């Protein structure tokens, strides 16, 4: 029987585990539970319990008859079809599928928003004593976390963003919400000295970077180190390797690295790992739902946006339904 290695238990592989595919499957993941990023700011804001925002990938694997290895990939040798884990053990494969996400390449003085598990642990430990919190990165993650922190704590919150991330109309809506939460928005580069002096916690969300071992794997990657895949989500250099979610870049039609796309990869990945030939076509417009600290949110779709408590309830329903779809 062909040996299929699923590396990482992210959004796309959760979908694959739910569908089930033929072969002798092994899942390698550092954590038995996967944190759903869409609800993470809601957890920080105090709207969700931890068990409400996690998917139990270990249970999904058990139900699908997939062997679970709790560990972290340290190296992949695409030529030898072999993976080495951080504990030194090695696994060989006939087919490998990568859904290992991206990481926030944070400097040593900052708390990276990823991995979520470390971030949440350190945040819970720090949240009651912080007086001044900085967030670096003005994308959706930085904005949502800034407002969540401001909502949950009495800390002074500053958001550093070195470039505009949204079209002007949406940016104005976001700026108003940041101001409503007392979040100070500073344009420009965040300098280490100033960060250390002015804030007692710096949270880093800027720049989704590829996991370093991907670059040395022998797989073809884009200029940032993400695995280049064709429209079947197969590596363009090694067809027995698939990649989905943030760690993959679609050749010729790259799209943003966000959970929305990782979720859409899942059914195509499952079909192709199962031996079908399904093609992935990224949607041209993706719905963005940005939570704003309190139970309030902004929605944006195709250049039109809305906001209100009803948008938060809408987002809450979508997110809960998605996570609940994985409960056994």
Ligand X SMILES: Cc1cc2nc3c(=O)[nH]c(=O)nc-3n(C[C@H](O)[C@H](O)[C@H](O)COP(=O)(O)OP(=O)(O)OC[C@H]3O[C@@H](n4cnc5c(N)ncnc54)[C@H](O)[C@@H]3O)c2cc1C
Q: Which residues bind ligand X (CB under 6 A)?
A: 7-12, 28-31, 34, 37-38, 40-41, 72-73, 99-101, 113-115, 140-141, 144-145, 205, 211, 245-247, 257-260, 262
- Residue 268 Cβ vs ligand X, minimum distance, rounded to whole Å: 14
Min dist. Cβ of residue 115 to ligand X (A):
6
Which residue is closest to ligand X by CB?
Answer: 245
Angle at 10 between CA 4 and CA 14, to 5 degrees: 65
Q: Whole-number minimum distance, CB 266 to ligand X, in Å?
A: 9
How many H-runs (helices) and E-runs (strands) does the chain carry? 10, 22
Nearer to ligand X, 105 or 193 (CB): 105
Q: Decide whether 197 or 321 has the Cβ nearer to ligand X.
A: 321
57 vs 271 by CB, closer to ligand X:
57
Q: How far apart are CA 139 and CA 206, in angstroms?
A: 7
Q: Do residues 46 and 152 touch, judged by C-beta distance below 8 A?
A: yes
Q: CB burial class (10 A; 0-12, 13-18, 19+) of residue 278?
A: middle
Considering the complex, state which of residue 125 and residue 193 has its C-beta at the smaller distance from ligand X.
Answer: 125
3-state secondary structure labels for all residues of 216-230: CCCCCECCCCCEEEC
Q: How far is the CB of 290 from ligand X (least distance, A)?
A: 7
Q: Are 7 and 26 in contact (CB under 8 A)?
A: no
CB of 2 to ligand X, least distance (A): 21
Q: How far apart are CA 288 and CA 169, in angstroms?
A: 14
* Residue 116 beta carbon to ligand X: minimum distance, rounded to whole angstroms: 7
Question: Please, which residue, 141 or 227, has the CB nearer to ligand X?
Answer: 141
Chain centroid, CA 133 distance in Å: 22
Residue nearer to ligand X on the CB measure, 28 or 233: 28
- Minimum Å gap between C-beta 168 and ligand X is 22
Cβ distance to ligand X smaller for residue 130 or 243: 243
Strand positions, DSSP E, 86-207: 90-92, 95-98, 103-104, 111-112, 132-136, 156-161, 184-187, 201-204
Tell me the CA distances in angstroms from 36 to 57, 212, 263, 319, one per residue in order: 12, 23, 11, 9
């Amino acid at each position: 029987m062909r040996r299929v290695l699923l590396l990482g238990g992210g959004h796309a592989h959760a979908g694959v585990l739910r569908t089930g595919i033929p072969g002798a499957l092994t899942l390698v993941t550092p954590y038995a539970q996967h944190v759903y990023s869409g609800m993470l700011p809601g957890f920080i804001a105090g709207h969700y319990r931890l068990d409400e925002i996690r998917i139990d990938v270990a249970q999904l694997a058990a139900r699908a008859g997939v062997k679970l290895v709790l560990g972290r990939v340290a190296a992949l040798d695409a030529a030898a079809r072999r993976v080495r884990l951080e504990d030194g053990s090695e696994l060989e494969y006939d087919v490998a599928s990568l859904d290992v996400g991206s990481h926030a390449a944070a400097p040593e003085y900052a708390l990276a928003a990823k991995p979520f598990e470390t971030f949440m642990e350190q945040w819970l430990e720090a949240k009651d004593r912080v007086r001044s919190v900085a967030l670096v990165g003005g994308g959706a993650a930085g904005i949502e976390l800034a407002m969540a922190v401001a909502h949950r704590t009495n800390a002074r919150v500053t958001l550093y963003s070195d470039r505009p991330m949204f079209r002007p109309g949406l940016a104005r809506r976001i700026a108003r919400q940041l101001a409503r939460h007392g979040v100070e928005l500073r344009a420009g580069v965040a300098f280490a000295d100033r960060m250390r002096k002015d804030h007692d916690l710096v949270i880093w969300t800027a720049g989704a970077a590829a996991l370093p071992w991907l670059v040395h794997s022998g797989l073809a990657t884009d200029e940032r180190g993400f695995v280049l895949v064709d429209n079947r989500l197969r590596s363009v250099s090694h067809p027995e390797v698939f990649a989905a979610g943030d760690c993959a870049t679609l050749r010729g039609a790259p799209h943003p690295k966000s959970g929305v796309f990782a979720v859409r990869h899942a059914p195509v990945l499952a079909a192709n790992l199962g031996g079908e030939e399904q093609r992935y076509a990224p949607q041209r417009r993706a719905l963005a739902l940005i939570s704003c600290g309190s139970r309030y949110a902004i929605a944006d779709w195709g250049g039109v946006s809305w906001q209100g408590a009803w948008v938060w309830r809408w987002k809450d329903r979508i997110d809960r339904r998605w996570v609940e779809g994985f409960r056994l």
